Structure 1
């Protein structure tokens, strides 16, 4: 392995370890033992769920599958699809004899399912309970994993649809349960930021790396076949479900029997339309996540435009370390009451926009190599460092957006509104997947950079609106004694 990758990985590991070990009292929030027990229970469940999700459907060790499939397909579309849905899914479908067209339809079905059914399952979670919705996620994803044993296209399509529904539940029900339960137990609002930052640090960072190593062990070392990761995921899902059933209590949004799904949809839509802060938050989230998923499509062809031999799995680990760095920094920022999340996120979006503009800049400043194969180029090295900066911004984004959602989204429709936010994201990803060969990579990176810059402008607007709302509330409180 080239020295460059080892230096980047080692440098990031040292920085992350230093940041975590050097936290002082200003970077920490004093909490109660009851909260610590509650937090650790949630982190265990979240890490299992998110680790399983990344383990069975993310690109952990793509270099193994790229080598396995190098004689089958080497074009841009494969690399993009491979990076978002991962080596195990793509490889499994090819072993069943399906071509890129059929596999592409399966991938789009997952996003389409999440888009169509997301708001429905979100509303059901608000009405019938977030704990039940979390258990439903486990059952639905287990069923999705079981379908991977069948080579029949219809059954695999059912599995993708189930996976899309499960994704909607994963990204709404768990967070909704956490926020409601946190408030129900009377914990301080600022303590939520601890749980958010730790969840991203562990579930989206450390556990993702460990899960990738475990997947590599099953598929590569033990040669148990491409279905093995999904069987292992089912086992861990069952463990997580047992923890939820035995230790979680139920909470609801609006459980009124008089409200049907359409009434809940209208209520959520009215909340978004009537509160500018919620609308801005949804737009910001869609712009960032859309850029993030597009980046997942593009980083492999960007770093190896001429088929350069790059260690995909090791680079993915570098990205996860970068994300952990960002979440560690977020925990410090969120721990300080004097620093407002709406303020520093403006800077985060500007930096992330600049980092994804690097491939466009290097295409003009660095002459492209015409040699096939070989190691990563100088332009690739610069881009990799920029991508690490973007991943650090991703690590900052998740706990910060969770914090803002906990502040602005009304409790009675939290899951419904959160899945409303995912509708434009899923539409965008489906369009990109369908037109994956239509635009050059530099154009797509430029588009993502523009989206992120727009997100920074919207974040600036959100900061101004939220400040005015705070000032209005202060004036109302100051005026109350005069009205008595």
Structure 2
């Protein structure tokens, strides 16, 4: 492995440690012991859930190829996963709001464990069923847990600002540290212990089972709108009306779809971008480097959200612009650096530049997750939170399915250019969201001032 990879990883590790250790009291949020216990319980469960997810990721494609399936058949399996998430996501989100978020989280564990079990079969239909189950589980992972957390946080009367602390810690651990450890643990099982490519899925099922036991033993149930008179169709209509009637919710959904669509496209593109001539690159080590960059981003986000200024809506504009610029690097290097025609070998000079740009994007991803969670907690109504969040994932899944289906139809520079445009549009929409939020805050301040003045005028009259 070349020195360059170690330098990038070491530099990011040093910066993450420096940012965390340099935090002072102003960068930290003072909380209560009761909240800390609640937060730590959620972080334990979330980390176990993400371990179950991250362990599978690096080995899904490899497992299918070991079973003898070609690129086209594997592509169909992946499309089935995103397609089922799109088709069933809104339904399971509505059921979570109506039947209970804790119950939905347990359903996630059971569904994903069943998906892991299907990986033992080389039968295409069984694997397809596993992808469908995995798509349903993904919808629950990215809606039910957050919905439970927000509702429980508010139900227990904790300070609203403390919620951002839980979000940033969850991303720092679940999407950073746990991802790195899961990658190394999966590599240990498959390569060092020679247990085969299905071993990480068995390990994932074990972590999911442990997490489910913690949920069943320590979580209480909460609901969105448990009204018996509301069926699923009524809930769908209510969520659609909420999105259509509140521009802030609609903007938030568009921003999320644009960013996550670009992010999932990047997952498929970074490998061919860094090895266009089949250069030998350490995929696992690069993945760990990306996750370290994401940890840096979440650490920066926790620092930003500990202060009232700048607002989340404000600094996210910069994050989207930087993300957009990072995806221009593959296009720029393609024009400025003469491509090598030698097959194999080590990573090229343009590959090194792109790797730095991709690490920058991953740092933006680390800032994005806790920040978008914070904005969702502010703008999405509690009674249909899971339903609306899964509505947001419909355009995302459509976009990813289209990209997967046409991944060989366009040059890689066109794909990165498209993602860069999407991210720039997200920055424009974020600016609009900031303007609306500022106008709303100003209106509330004026109303509060008018009420105070009215009360002050009435006091002498009451005294008389």
Q: Shorter-normalised TM-score: what interval? A: over 0.9
| Cα displacement (A) at 1:471 | 1.1
Q: Map residues 36-185 of structure 1 onto 2, 5 A cutoff.
A: 36-56=36-56, 58-59=57-58, 88-185=59-156
Distance in 2, matches of 1:313 and 1:115, equals 29
Aligned to 1:186: 157
Q: Map residues 331-410 of structure 1 onto 2, 5 A cutoff.
A: 331-410=302-381
| Cα displacement (A) at 1:98 | 2.2
Question: Per-residue CA shift, 1:84-125, capped at 9, x if unaligned?
Answer: xxxx22222223232222221111110000000000000000
SS in 1 for 2:243: helix
2:428 to 453, 457, 466: 457
Aligned residues of 1:51 and 1:204 also touching (Cα < 8 A): no
SS in 2 for 1:310: coil
Distance in 1, matches of 2:127 and 2:272, equals 28
Aligned to 2:27: 27
Aligned residues of 2:165 and 2:302 also touching (Cα < 8 A): yes
Distance in 1, matches of 2:339 and 2:70, equals 32
Distance in 2, matches of 1:237 and 1:277, equals 35
Aligned residues of 2:165 and 2:306 also touching (Cα < 8 A): yes
1:479 to 442, 450, 461: 450
Question: Per-residue CA shift, 1:330-372, capped at 9, x if unaligned?
Answer: 0000000122000000000000100111111111111111111
Distance in 1, matches of 2:309 and 2:83, equals 42
Aligned residues of 1:121 and 1:168 also touching (Cα < 8 A): yes
SS in 2 for 1:189: coil
Q: Give TM-score scaled by structure 1 length.
A: 0.93
Unmatched runs of 5 consecutive residues or more in structure 2: 459-464
Aligned to 2:300: 329
SS in 2 for 1:473: helix
Aligned to 1:319: 290
Aligned residues of 2:51 and 2:207 also touching (Cα < 8 A): no
| Cα displacement (A) at 1:22 | 1.0
2:199 to 221, 228, 236: 228
Aligned residues of 2:108 and 2:140 also touching (Cα < 8 A): yes
Aligned residues of 1:218 and 1:228 also touching (Cα < 8 A): yes
2:407 to 408, 411, 436: 436
Q: In the alignment, does 2:208 pair up with 1:241?
A: no
Question: Per-residue CA shift, 1:432-471, capped at 9, x if unaligned?
Answer: 0101111100011110000000000000000000111111
Aligned to 1:211: 182
Q: In the alignment, does 2:274 pair up with 1:303?
A: yes
Distance in 2, matches of 1:143 and 1:10, equals 38
Aligned to 2:13: 13
Aligned residues of 1:310 and 1:376 also touching (Cα < 8 A): yes
Distance in 1, matches of 2:288 and 2:400, equals 24
Question: Per-residue CA shift, 1:291-326, capped at 9, x if unaligned?
Answer: 111111111111111111111111111111100000
SS in 2 for 1:207: helix
Aligned to 2:257: 286
| Cα displacement (A) at 1:154 | 1.4
SS in 1 for 2:161: helix
Q: In the alignment, does 2:416 pair up with 1:445?
A: yes
Aligned residues of 1:323 and 1:391 also touching (Cα < 8 A): yes
Distance in 1, matches of 2:197 and 2:344, equals 27
| Cα displacement (A) at 1:226 | 1.4
